[in-house]
């Protein structure tokens, strides 16, 4: 096979770990692809300059064990905290957290907002499938109001988080939301996130046909991708406002794009003053 | 009087489902939990009962196990009947609140599908999570069958809420081995369970008519007294446990004891294990007995408080006790269960040889051959008159 025939992603993947364990139709493959496209577009031929951290859940399996790279596969919810330590100890590394909404926004929600507040030099990619997929489809903090899951059989009475707005409001330098129906804009946003100092957050809406699709009767992977494709894209500089996400009211695009001093920059500045 | 047979409903239930059905009948006010394998089904089933109006319970799908146990303490403080379920890393995340629950004397029932702790990530059974909460002040009961899980869950509330106890109770089942295994379970009519348990009568609940503060600062002046009382309470558990079980036996004809003895009377070598390993051990003992070997089994159900007297009596004049345990206490003299047994036997007149075999970590299968391997080794050690403090079986070395 000539080099051009080999998929660009393969140079970054552990061949022996393939095929991935993801269900047929899972969005994690597209999330992987968008991320690796961004890495490839930045001119990397391997993942030597990166370190990956993941927590628990299906999204956490994207880097571990599939990426040919240093990876910490940690405990549920704590990926961002582990990554904070990793980056502080070795700032040369590009530290990336890839995990799911349950991991990053439920049990690990506190770490997420504080890393954003601190403007910690990390890139966090959240595969948001609106449910706890790995444990079989329980209601979570991103599940839409009214969704029927295994632990909300008559509909979810609670409101979901708008993760992109949450992290933007918490102080991150760069925040974008795309979906698995938008792999190219997503790759572009991930590229910006990797280049940006401070805290970058990419929310990737991603279909889980097995747990979310079945439980909430949202159809199969194709139906869900079609739905995500129809979501509105924000205009540049449109005010963020406040809204509770619903299936039609999930806007895509960039939610924060600034260059405020990052944690490492602030630390450097403080050292100079002492 | 035993409940009439035609009033009993019989179903094939997994350990998780058996616990969910028991919880359904216990008239819970609040259940707060976070999903974690292999416990998930307990809460899923219970949530279904709640949604279908079969129970009048507020179920809170909280954002972490730390919040789950915290919500349970909050609910229990108002006098509510409360339960939760977890395992492994989830249990570990509750650790801080476990101590609060016990020390604030909250009679919470905590069902656990015992599972290994990270790292590396492993979803299968061992007892590292239960042993991790060993000193938290929870009563710990480990079950061998789905029926026992059902029965113990019901009895747990009566023990926990007894005014001489007022402590949280952990009911443990082996993750996957029991949590996901379907067995025949006999279930009591709900009104019988309701009569058996009654309504919780809190001693000192939070109530606006008589405001109190729970858990404030108690430094060098009073902290120690709280612990003294807590210790006294847990020492009362065997007495209350026996009383509750006797009452339960009247209804069902079933009782388990703090330990289960099997052919120990004339046994020269005794196998001591917890939870589902007890079943395998008994089968092994039968086969070895057929070959003329004098083997018996003690299956330990109550790990906290540790039933010292019963254990010593059951071991009697045996030459050796082989402990098979599914947890390690890294760097300790032996591992947790053997440490307890060694301490318990220290005062015994005829101290047997104590062998500690660590097996089954991370769900590694513990087949009958592992017990036989331990048995053969024990016979050799007895001949030699010495043995290592502990060893691992069934692992690549």
Domains of chain A (ranges, CATH numbers): 45-273 (3.40.50.970)
Q: Which residues of B touch A154 (CB under 8 A)?
A: 51
In sequence order, the β-bridge partners of residue B297 are B262, B271
Q: H-helix or E-strand containing B296?
A: strand B295-300
Q: What angle do CA B330, B332, B337 make, to 5 degrees?
A: 95
pTM to 2 decimal places: 0.93
Structure tokens that stand for B119 in this block: 């790292």
Nearest neighbour of A107 by CB, restricted to B59, B64, B118: B64
Q: How confident is residue A237, by pLDDT bands cut at 50, 70 and 90?
A: confident
Q: Which residues of A touch B90 (CB under 8 A)?
A: 76
Instruction: Please give the share of chain B, as a percent, with pLDDT higher than 70.
Output: 100
- Predicted complex ipTM exceeds 0.85: yes
pLDDT at A5: 81
Residue B43, chain A, CB below 8 Å: the answer is yes
pLDDT at A113: 98
Owner of token pair 């009247």 = B250
Residue B54, chain A, CB below 8 Å: the answer is no
Contact indicator for B80, B108 with CB cutoff of 8 Å:
no
3-state secondary structure of B365: coil
| pLDDT tens-place string over residues A92-145 | 999 999 999 999 999 999 999 999 999 999 999 999 999 999 999 999 999 999
Checking if the pLDDT of A170 tops 60, the result is yes
- For chain B, domains (ranges, CATH) are 5-252 (3.40.50.970), 260-392 (3.40.50.920)
B121–A56 CB contact, under 8 Å: yes
Q: How confident is residue B254, by pLDDT bands cut at 50, 70 and 90?
A: very high
Checking if the pLDDT of A4 tops 70, the result is no
Nearest CA in chain B to A141: B63
Measured distance CA(A25)–CA(A20) in Å, rounded: 12
Up-side HSE of residue B339: CA atoms within 13 Å toward CB? 13
Instruction: Give the ranges where chain A is alpha helix by DSSP (H).
Output: 28-41, 79-89, 101, 109-118, 163-170, 183-195, 214-215, 221-229, 263-273
pLDDT at A3: 61
Instruction: Please give the share of chain A, as a percent, with pLDDT higher than 90.
Output: 95
A228-246 mean pLDDT: 92
Contact indicator for A180, A207 with CB cutoff of 8 Å:
yes
Measured distance CA(B325)–CA(B272) in Å, rounded: 8
Pairing mode, if any, of strands B269-274 and B320-325?
parallel
Work out the mean pLDDT of chain A and round it to a whole number. Answer: 96
Residue B95, chain A, CB below 8 Å: the answer is no
Q: Which residues of B touch A106 (CB under 8 A)?
A: 63-64
Classify each residue of B172-208 as buried b or exposed e, where b means 16 or more C-beta atoms within 10 Å of its C-beta: bbbbbbbbbbebebbbbebebbeebbeebebeeeeee
Checking if the pLDDT of B170 tops 70, the result is yes
Measured distance CA(B149)–CA(B153) in Å, rounded: 6
pLDDT at A243: 86
pLDDT at A249: 87
Measured distance CA(B267)–CA(A101) in Å, rounded: 56
Contact indicator for B253, B2 with CB cutoff of 8 Å:
yes
B63–A109 CB contact, under 8 Å: yes
Instruction: Please give the share of chain B, as a percent, with pLDDT higher than 90.
Output: 99
Structure tokens that stand for B261 in this block: 């003895």
Checking if the pLDDT of A1 tops 80, the result is no
Owner of token pair 């409101």 = A159
Pairing mode, if any, of strands A174-179 and A253-257?
antiparallel
| pLDDT tens-place string over residues B222-234 | 999 999 999 999 9
């Amino acid at each position: 096979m000539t080099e051009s025939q080999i998929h660009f992603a393969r140079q970054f993947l552990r061949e022996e770990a393939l095929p991935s364990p993801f269900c047929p139709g899972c969005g994690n493959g597209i999330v992987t692809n968008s991320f690796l496209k961004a890495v490839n577009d930045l001119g990397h031929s391997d993942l030597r300059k990166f370190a990956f951290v993941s927590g628990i859940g299906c999204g956490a399996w994207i880097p571990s064990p599939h990426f040919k790279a240093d990876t910490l596969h940690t405990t549920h919810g704590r990926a961002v905290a582990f990554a904070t330590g990793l980056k502080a100890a070795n700032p040369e590394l590009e530290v990336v957290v890839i995990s799911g909404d349950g991991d990053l926004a439920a049990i690990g929600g506190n770490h997420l907002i504080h890393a954003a507040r601190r403007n910690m030099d990390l890139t966090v990619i959240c595969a948001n499938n609106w449910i706890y997929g790995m444990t079989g489809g329980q209601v979570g903090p991103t599940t839409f109001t009214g969704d029927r899951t295994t632990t909300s059989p008559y509909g979810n009475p609670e409101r979901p988080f708008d993760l992109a707005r949450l992290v933007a409001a918490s102080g991150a330098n760069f925040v974008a939301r795309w979906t698995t129906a938008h792999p190219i804009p997503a790759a572009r946003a991930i590229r910006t996130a990797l280049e940006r100092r401070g805290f970058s957050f990419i929310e990737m809406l991603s279909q889980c046909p097995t747990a979310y699709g079945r439980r909430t009767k949202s159809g199969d992977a194709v139906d869900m991708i079609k739905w995500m494709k129809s979501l509105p894209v924000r205009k540049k500089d449109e005010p963020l406002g406040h809204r509770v996400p619903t299936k039609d009211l999930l806007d895509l695009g960039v939610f924060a794009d600034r260059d405020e001093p990052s944690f490492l920059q602030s630390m450097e500045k403080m050292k100079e003053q002492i | 009087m035993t409940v009439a047979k035609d009033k009993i409903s019989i179903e094939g239930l997994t350990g998780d489902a058996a616990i969910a059905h028991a919880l359904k009948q216990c008239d819970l006010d609040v259940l707060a939990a976070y999903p974690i394998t292999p416990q998930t089904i307990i809460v899923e089933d219970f949530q279904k009962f709640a949604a279908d109006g079969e129970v009048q319970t507020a179920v809170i799908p909280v954002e972490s196990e730390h919040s789950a146990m915290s919500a349970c303490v909050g609910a229990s403080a108002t006098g509510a009947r409360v339960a939760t379920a977890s395992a492994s890393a989830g249990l570990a995340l509750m650790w801080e609140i476990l101590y609060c629950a016990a020390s604030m004397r909250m009679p919470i029932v905590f069902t656990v599908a015992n599972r290994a702790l990270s790292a590396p990530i492993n979803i299968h059974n061992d007892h590292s999570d239960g042993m991790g909460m060993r000193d938290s002040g929870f009563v710990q009961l480990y079950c061998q069958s789905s029926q026992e899980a059902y029965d113990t869950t019901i009895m747990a509330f009566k023990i926990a809420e007894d005014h001489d106890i007022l402590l949280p109770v952990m009911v443990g089942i082996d993750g996957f081995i029991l949590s996901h295994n379907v067995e025949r379970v006999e279930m009591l009519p709900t009104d019988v369970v309701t009569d058996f348990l009654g309504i919780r009568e809190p001693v000192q609940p939070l109530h606006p008519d008589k405001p109190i503060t729970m858990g404030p600062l108690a430094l060098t002046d009073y902290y120690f007294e709280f612990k003294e009382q807590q210790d006294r309470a847990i020492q009362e558990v065997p007495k209350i446990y026996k009383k509750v079980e006797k009452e339960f036996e009247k209804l069902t004809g079933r009782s388990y004891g703090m330990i289960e003895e099997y052919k120990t009377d004339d046994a020269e070598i005794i196998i001591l294990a917890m939870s589902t390993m007890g079943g395998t051990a008994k089968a092994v003992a039968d086969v070895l007995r057929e070959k003329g070997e004098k083997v018996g089994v003690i299956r330990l159900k109550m790990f906290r408080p540790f039933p010292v007297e019963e254990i010593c009596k059951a071991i009697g004049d045996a030459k050796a006790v082989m402990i098979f345990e599914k947890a390690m206490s890294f760097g300790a003299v032996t591992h947790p269960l053997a440490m307890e047994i060694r301490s318990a036997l220290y005062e015994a007149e005829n101290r047997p040889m104590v062998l500690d075999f660590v097996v089954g970590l991370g769900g590694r299968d513990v087949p009958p051959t592992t017990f036989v391997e331990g048995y053969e080794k024990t016979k050799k050690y007895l001949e030699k008159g010495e043995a290592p403090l502990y060893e691992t079986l069934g692992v690549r070395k």
